Amino acid sequence: MTKLLDILKNPVCFRLIFCLFIYFCIMYHKIAIIILVALSCSCAGNSGDEQQKSAFFDKKETTDDVQNEHFDLDKIQESGELIVASLYGPYDYFSFRGMEFGYQFEMAALYANSIGARIRVQVADTMPELKKMLENGEADMIISHSSVGKRDSLVWTVGKNAPLLRQSVNEWCAQAGTMPESKMLHRKYFEGLLFRPVHRGKPAAQMLNMKAGIISKYDALFKRYAGTIDWDWRLLASLAYQESSFNPSAVSWAGAQGLMQMMPATAASVGISEGDLMNPESSIAGATRYLRKLDRTFSDIHDRNERLNFVLASYNGGSHHIRDAMALAQKHGKNPHVWQGNVDQYVLLLSKPMYYNDASVKYGYMRGSETFNYVKQIRSRHNFYRMHVKRN
């Protein structure tokens, strides 16, 4: 004992022993928290399918950094928000005309609603990034479809620190296949309903009276409002036909309404209420205001006739997606300010993972074939109208 006290009296020996003591204390506590295991929840979209499970993480060593707090079901319900992590994709998550879509996303939104929460999406480029979001508490759940199961299966992953959430999701998934809303979503995404017009009625002829030079019964309105944006009214008429076949009561699968098929949120942004969308004049007035905004958005395209292509494409697919296509065009040596043979080709390619997951793309998947054909058909019809109908 006396020898030990003599050693401790030596300042050098004391510091060495103290450092060793601190080191072993740190290692002891670190080992106690070294393993994190993620638990996965999976369930089939169809009620008869067998449940599938996948463990995304085996081991993870913690760091000394303070990590985000992990929320379980009670805290999610208290906050009123379920944060889900997803990749972009036609069945996972994508945006269209300012609205959010995707089978996994909409099913997750149904679940969120069942627990009294709204849904918020955090998008990543890769599965490892999704796993990191879950691990760090940046998301409550991963919803992206993985290689496990069929594309209409729900393979959702929650963290080990959320046992109540995992139990709740499992219980909801067990009976999700019998829900009317779930069956409708399955039809929407896997039985061809997604991009099918709803309540559009029988398509009208492209011209009401070719001999008299009358395109539609709304020609006077097209002329009046086209003048407010310095457009050829026949181009505006061609746009209207593409959108609704001149049916003021048309409603699309995405919720766009009226003659000019405006989304309620878009209409509200230009001062048109949802209740007025079925009114032909209100619809045309709102559309021209929105077209003016889009024209300003692409003011960097100086050729006005060229800019019209970008405005039309954005009216259909959204300006953010068109900007993504422009970025891809520039990256691959094409002219980002020219539509045909340049940007339009990358609009088409935005439906392919190799392109919508590219680092230069900010807004992910786009159903580019629709927008590509949309611009082409409106322009072609406009040329037809120009041949048969006088401008004034």
Q: Does domain 219-388 have CATH number 1.10.530.10?
A: yes
Q: Between 21 and 325, where is the model more confident?
A: 325
Lowest-confidence range among 54-58, 120-124, 231-235, 301-305?
Answer: 54-58
What was the pLDDT predicted at 195?
54
Read off the pTM.
Answer: 0.71
Residue 67 has pLDDT above 70, yes or no: no
pLDDT of 138 over the 50 cut: yes
Q: How far apart are CA 66 and CA 84, in angstroms?
A: 22
Write out the DSSP string of 234-290. Answer: HHHHHHHHHHHTT-TT-B-TT--BTTTTB-HHHHHHTT--GGGTTSHHHHHHHHHHH
Mean pLDDT on 330-348:
98
Q: What is the pLDDT of residue 248?
A: 95
Mean pLDDT to the nearest integer, 109-116 = 94
d(CA 154, CA 152): 7
Q: Does residue 145 contact residue 91 with C-beta atoms inside 8 Å?
A: yes
How far from 211 is each of 50, 388, 390, CA to CA, in Å?
63, 8, 12
In tens, the pLDDT along 250-290 reads 988 778 999 999 999 999 999 999 999 999 999 999 999 99
Domain 39-190 has CATH 3.40.190.10: yes
Q: What percent of the chain has pLDDT over 90?
A: 59
For 182-215, write each residue's pLDDT tens digit: 888 888 887 765 555 544 455 677 888 888 899 9
What does the pLDDT look like over 211-250, one tens digit per residue?
889 999 999 999 999 999 999 999 999 999 999 999 999 9
Q: Where are the domains of the chain?
A: 39-190, 219-388
pLDDT of residue 314: 98
pLDDT tens column, 16-66:
555 444 444 444 333 232 222 233 334 433 333 333 333 332 333 333 333
User: Has residue 148 got a pLDDT over 70?
Assistant: no
